[in-house]
């Protein structure tokens, strides 16, 4: 794999440190598994839903964190040896185990101004609702020709 040196670009883009950090993050090789499977839906204008298939996990086993523009969903089951020692008579013997209950960590890069509204777990599906809220100061505004700029002091 070829590595690309982007340092000459950093000298040209003054004040674009955020852009440079995004490019650096994209070029890093973070190996992320494909478990658990997920969907991303557009549920309305500027509204999104992430649905993850996490059969066998309860809401106590799942942690959802947002830090800067990264949404991290972590699932951790209790240690199986602890469960077996406390429930000797209820030991489970699988003839076939096709439902994976392994621990996981999944990260999603969120766009600017995307906020997590809610999370819900039902029937083995974790639903995370998101919305992009653009502040009034960042929304496009129409400037009439011949108008003067009025500054608020």
- Which domains are delineated in the chain? 1-30 (no CATH), 32-136 (2.60.40.790)
Per-residue pLDDT of the chain (153 residues; tens, 9 = 90+): 566 666 665 555 555 555 556 666 666 655 666 788 999 999 988 899 999 999 888 899 999 999 988 899 999 987 654 544 444 446 778 888 887 778 999 998 888 888 999 999 999 999 999 998 887 777 788 888 886 766 665
Cβ atoms of residues 124 and 54 within 8 Å: yes
Q: Give the angle 22-43-65 at the CA atoms, nearest 5°.
A: 45
Cβ atoms of residues 109 and 72 within 8 Å: no
Q: Residue 85 has what pLDDT?
A: 46
Q: Residue 127 has what pLDDT?
A: 96
Q: Residue 78 has what pLDDT?
A: 74
- DSSP letter assigned to residue 46: T
């Amino acid at each position: 794999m070829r590595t690309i040196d982007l340092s000459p670009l950093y000298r040209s883009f003054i004040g674009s440190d955020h852009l440079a950090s995004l490019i650096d993050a994209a070029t890093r090789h973070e190996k992320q598994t494909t478990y658990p499977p997920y969907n991303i839906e557009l549920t309305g204008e500027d509204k999104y839903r992430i649905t993850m298939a996490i059969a066998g996990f309860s809401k106590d086993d799942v942690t959802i964190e947002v830090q800067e523009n990264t949404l991290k969903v972590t699932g951790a089951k209790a240690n199986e040896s602890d469960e077996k020692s406390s429930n000797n008579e209820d030991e489970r013997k699988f003839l076939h185990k096709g439902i994976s209950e392994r621990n996981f960590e999944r990260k999603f890069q969120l766009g600017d101004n995307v906020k997590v509204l809610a999370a819900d777990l039902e029937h083995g599906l974790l639903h995370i609702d998101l919305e992009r809220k653009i502040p009034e100061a960042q929304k496009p505004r129409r400037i009439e020709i011949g108008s003067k700029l009025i500054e608020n002091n």
